[in-house]
Amino acid sequence: MDLPMERPPAGAAPNAERQPPARLIALGVAGVVAAAALAYVKWLPLWQKATAALAAHRYKAPSILTGGAAVAPAPSWHAAWTYAQAYYGAVWMAVIAGILIGGAVQSLVPQRFFNRFLANSNLKATLLAAAGALPAFF
């Protein structure tokens, strides 16, 4: 049986446990931004590669080091520049996604949330941080 909630007396400090709707909406927006960025940059491309590998029963992807050649090129400035261009081409969307997610978290998630749930060095804080990072890992 739920009891009716009592209103705090006028002038009393608001209950720290209750989140105002605006903060919940901001947390939701940050979560949607993170999920959309990770889906576009990581999850969907990996899903496509995995389904193609399952269908073909093999996975073959070109190396950014060799560029599809049988052996890596000899060390040179040209080889270094070619590798840097290939690497940038492979990660630029992930960098943009990371900046978007970081900006959303910085501006939409209250600092109190991090202080309350992640600022301790106990097992609970460690598990929560790992659970939060896990979707970005895969």
Per-residue confidence (pLDDT) for residue 4, from 0 to 100? 55
Q: What pTM value is reported for the model?
A: 0.70
Per-residue confidence (pLDDT) for residue 54, from 0 to 100? 93
Q: Is 8 domain-assigned?
A: no
Q: Is 102 domain-assigned?
A: yes
Per-residue confidence (pLDDT) for residue 59, from 0 to 100? 85
Q: Is 93 domain-assigned?
A: yes
Per-residue confidence (pLDDT) for residue 91, from 0 to 100? 92
Q: Is 17 domain-assigned?
A: no
Per-residue confidence (pLDDT) for residue 92, from 0 to 100? 94
Taking the C-alpha atoms of residue 92 and residue 95, their distance in angstroms, rounded to an integer, is: 5
Q: Is 4 domain-assigned?
A: no
Per-residue confidence (pLDDT) for residue 14, from 0 to 100? 56
Q: Is 91 domain-assigned?
A: yes
| SS3 assignment for the chain | CCCCCCCCCCCCCCCCCCCCHHHHHHHHHHHHHHHHHHHHHHHHHHHHHHHHHHHHCCCCCCCCCCCCCCCCCCCCHHHHHHHHHHHHHHHHHHHHHHHHHHHHHHHHCCHHHHHHHCCCCCHHHHHHHHHHHHHHHC
Q: Is 6 domain-assigned?
A: no
User: Containing domain of residue 87, as a range?
Assistant: 22-137
Q: Is 81 domain-assigned?
A: yes
The number of distinct structural domains making up the chain is 1
Reading the chain (138 residues) residue by residue, the pLDDT tens digits are 455 555 555 555 555 556 678 888 888 999 999 999 999 999 999 999 999 999 999 888 878 888 778 888 889 999 899 889 989 998 999 999 999 999 999 999 888 888 888 888 899 999 988 998 888 876
Per-residue confidence (pLDDT) for residue 6, from 0 to 100? 56
